[in-house]
Amino acid sequence: MGVVNVTPDSFSDGGRWATPDAAISHGRELLVAGADILDVGGESTRPGATRPLVEEELARVVPVIMALAADGATVSVDTMRSEVARAAIEAGAAIVNDVSGGLADADMLPVVAATGAAYVAMHWRAHSDTMQQHATYDGPGGVVAAVRDELAERVDAMLAAGIERDRIVLDPGLGFAKTAEHNWTLLRGLEPIARLGYPVLVGASRKSFLGSLLAGPDGVARGVEDREHASSALHVLLAQQGVWGLRTHDVRAAHDALRALARWNRTQPTTEPTP
């Protein structure tokens, strides 16, 4: 899943593709690089981000989705708003990627159910300006059990709203109301979430916990675009765990890494002759 941020304030690209024309061009480049899905978003969800007006978000994403869907791309809209989800689906989006899992907008689940779109529900506790105040997981099983249980509650809500099981994808929500240690624990503990019985999407690409991991001797976190090697390593490890999807900024790097893994898996180990 290639990321197309049509925003002036996204953490990963600083508004490089903030205009519709630039975003459409970037989306086409990601398709050539190997993206299977283009995830078009008009609201930054980086920590501390403020929300755009609904009209702003619509103006950012609808023209981009319309153009990329007309090209034949499978397009996802990254939004927490039912109005944006409805307009995006009418413009050609096939998937709604909702980082709030339906918690930010009570109308989201009924809208998705009525449209027939696929739905990615991420683990979420609060909006970006306050989410890190909710990064506490003191119950039995820690962050993995909490994320699993809270996603299971969202699944119940989705099914009750009429979204069919085969249209649901779950995302553990790395970095959303989670510390770096929570993120690493989740990455090593995806199996209980996968056992809920739904495909799993993971968005680890370029996130701040990788910047912290790669900090220099002065303790300064590695810059966003210099986290790609670590991102690719995680993509390989996650693919080996059988996750359904990888949300990434550098599609070419991820695609190359997965091609190498696929080739590795096709090679049978040789056996040394017995003396």
Catalytic residue status for 178: no
DSSP string, 83-115: HHHHHHHHHT--EEEETTTTSS-TTHHHHHHHH
Catalytic residue status for 60: no
* 86, 178, 207, 227: the active-site residue: 207
Least Cα distance to 112 among 70, 164, 56, 57 occurs for 164
Beta strands in the chain (DSSP E): 2-5, 38-41, 75-78, 95-98, 118-122, 168-171, 201-202, 245-246
* 125, 148, 178, 247: the active-site residue: 247
The SS3 of residue 66 is: helix
Q: If you compute the radius of gyration of the chain from its CA atoms, what whole number of angstroms results? A: 19
Task: Compute the distance between CA of residue 3 and CA of residue 206 in angstroms, rounded to an integer.
Answer: 12
Q: Which residues form the catalytic set?
A: 207, 247
